[in-house]
Amino acid sequence: MSTQTDGPAAERRLGEDLLVVDGLQKHFPIRRGLLQRQVGAVQAVDGLTFSVRRGETLSLVGESGCGKTTTGRLLTRLIEPTGGRIQLDGRDISHLSTSDMRPLRRDVQMIFQDPYSSLNPRHTVGTIVGAPFRLQKVQTENGVKKAVQDLLELVGLNPEHYNRYPHEFSGGQRQRIGIARTLALRPKLIVADEPVSALDVSIQAQVVNLLEDLQNEFDLTYVMIAHDLSVVRHVSDRVAVMYLGKIMEIADRTSLYERPMHPYTVALLSAVPIPDTSRRERRERIRLQGDVPSPINPPSGCRFHTRCWKAQEVCKTTEPALVELAPGHQAACHFPENAA
């Protein structure tokens, strides 16, 4: 976003939908006993509906166990959904077989959280970043080595480090290697699972800026999975807040951060520590009690009612639908805040 100064990203790009997700569901079976009978299911993702436009960044946020990582793995089809549909560029990829999925892997790539475990320690950087070309049998104009060196330069690494091993690099540099590998085949959609949370503050900013530059240069579409709400505000065009496998609220960035409607979003935002000592006393903080309930037995009605301070009888019995309460701003709550 360095080259653009005119307004938020959502206004300047008006792409059509690249990714459409409808009622997406993933239940992991729990099996017990000699016959491995299914006795229940972890409802990791339970009915997600959203779409991502070309060139846009959508972030999924929520506490651990809310299903955001499972969603990322469903979108990249590393796992198969138990219900619902995923459409990429107009094509239904929800139940494609491994071999049918393979050609599409070019279009969907993933950036992983941990730059230490996501790079094979026994391969050189050249082998790691060049692997997508070999696996997809892509011919490069001047050979794979040249292509890899161009990629390394693109992400801010020294192309001469082609023959080094991952352990010779710092965490931030490793994350850049992972990004270079992701970009090799010029994907349309990148799913980034906590891409900067393992990095130091000063390095975090470098990688965030790099991701933004690459998005502008190649018109990339990102689905970011993150828990740091300050970073999410910085990088996203739209944000979806998840809780126990469902979307509680989805809106464009400004609207979500300035006028959060779901009590859960309000609570999350109020819990973020602010680096300003003068605000320590004045802050109004909503304290959520306890932990996220188990996704094996999610609460009835609204899943958030057990921790919500606005909960009433209706919240325990009726599940609120995700409805548009303001233009481009959807929330699933019986008693939304900031609603007109």
Partner 1 sequence: MSQNPEDALAAAAEPRPAATGSPFLQVRELRVHFPTDDGVVKSVDDLSFSVDRGRTLGIVGESGSGKSVTSLSIMGLHKAGTARITGEILLDGQNLVGMNPDRVRKLRGKRMAMIFQDPLSAMHPFYTVGTQIVEAYRIHNPVSKKVARKHAIDLLDRVGIPNPTSRVDDYPHQFSGGMRQRAMIAMALSCDPELLIADEPTTALDVTVQAQILDLIRDLQQEFNSAVVIITHDLGVVAELADDIMVMYAGRAVEYSSAADIFNTPQHPYTWGLLSSMPRLDRERTERLQPIKGTPPSLINVPEGCPFNPRCAYAGTNGNLSFTVRPEFRDVGGGHHIACHLGAEDRMRIWDTEIRPKL
Which positions lie near partner 1, rule CB under 8 A?
1-2, 4-5, 63-64, 170-173, 200-206, 208-209, 212, 227, 229-231, 233-234, 253, 257, 267-269, 271-280, 285, 287-288, 290-292
The least CB distance from residue 3 to partner 1, in Å, is 10
The least CB distance from residue 1 to partner 1, in Å, is 6
What are 265's two structure tokens? 């979003």
Crossing angle, helix 125-135 and helix 171-183, to 10 degrees?
A: 20
The least CB distance from residue 186 to partner 1, in Å, is 24
| Rounded distance between C-alpha atoms, residue 235 and residue 244, angstroms | 24
What are 306's two structure tokens? 């057990």
The least CB distance from residue 170 to partner 1, in Å, is 5
The least CB distance from residue 337 to partner 1, in Å, is 17
261 DSSP assignment: -
Q: Between 141 and 276, whose beta carbon lies closer to partner 1?
A: 276
DSSP codes joined into one string, 86-146: EEETTEE-TT--HHHHGGGGGTEEEE-S-TTTSS-TTS-HHHHHHHHHHHTT---TTHHHH
Q: Between 25 and 270, whose beta carbon lies closer to partner 1?
A: 270
Q: Between 130 and 172, whose beta carbon lies closer to partner 1?
A: 172
The least CB distance from residue 100 to partner 1, in Å, is 37
Which residues face 305 on adjacent strands? none
The least CB distance from residue 167 to partner 1, in Å, is 13
DSSP codes joined into one string, 288-321: PPS-PPPTTSPPSSSTTTTT-TT--HHHHHSPPP
What are 320's two structure tokens? 């609120």
For residue 268, the number of C-alpha atoms closer than 13 Å in the C-beta half-sphere is 26
Note whether 115 and 178 are within 8 A (CB). Answer: yes
* Alpha-carbon distances, residue 277 vs 108, 200, 270, 281 (angstroms): 43, 22, 15, 8
Note whether 43 and 295 are within 8 A (CB). Answer: yes
3-state secondary structure of 184: coil
